[in-house]
Amino acid sequence: MSTLAKYCNPDALKDGYKFSASGTYYNPNDGNLAHYLDYIDNLPLNDPPEIYGLHGNANIKYQDIVSNLCINTILSIQPRLVTAAGGLSPDEIVQNKSRELLA
Total structural domains within the chain = 2
Boundary-marking domain end, from 54, 71, 86: 54
Strand partners, 18: 26
Q: What is the pLDDT of residue 83?
A: 56
DSSP assignment of the chain: -HHHHHHSSGGGGSTT-BSSTTSSSB-PPS--HHHHHHHHHTS-SS--GGGGT--THHHHHHHHHHHHHHHHHHHHHS--SPPSTTSPPHHHHHHHHHHHHH-
What is d(CA 5, CA 3) in angstroms, rounded to the nearest whole number?
A: 5
Q: What is the pLDDT of residue 5?
A: 82
What is d(CA 95, CA 83) in angstroms, rounded to the nearest whole number?
A: 16
Domain of 8, in residue numbers:
1-54
Q: Are 45 and 64 found together in one domain?
A: no
Boundary-marking domain end, from 13, 30, 54: 54
Q: Are 15 and 37 found together in one domain?
A: yes
Q: Are 38 and 69 found together in one domain?
A: no
Q: Are 12 and 46 found together in one domain?
A: yes
Q: Are 18 and 42 found together in one domain?
A: yes
What is the chain's pLDDT, residue by residue, as a tens digit (103 residues)? 877 888 888 988 888 898 888 888 888 888 899 999 999 999 988 888 888 778 888 889 999 999 999 999 988 887 666 555 567 777 888 899 999 999 9
Q: What is the pLDDT of residue 84?
A: 57
Q: Are 59 and 49 found together in one domain?
A: no
What is d(CA 101, CA 52) in angstroms, rounded to the nearest whole number?
A: 36
Query: What's this model's pTM, rounded to 2 decimal places?
Result: 0.52
Strand partners, 26: 18
Q: Are 63 and 103 found together in one domain?
A: yes
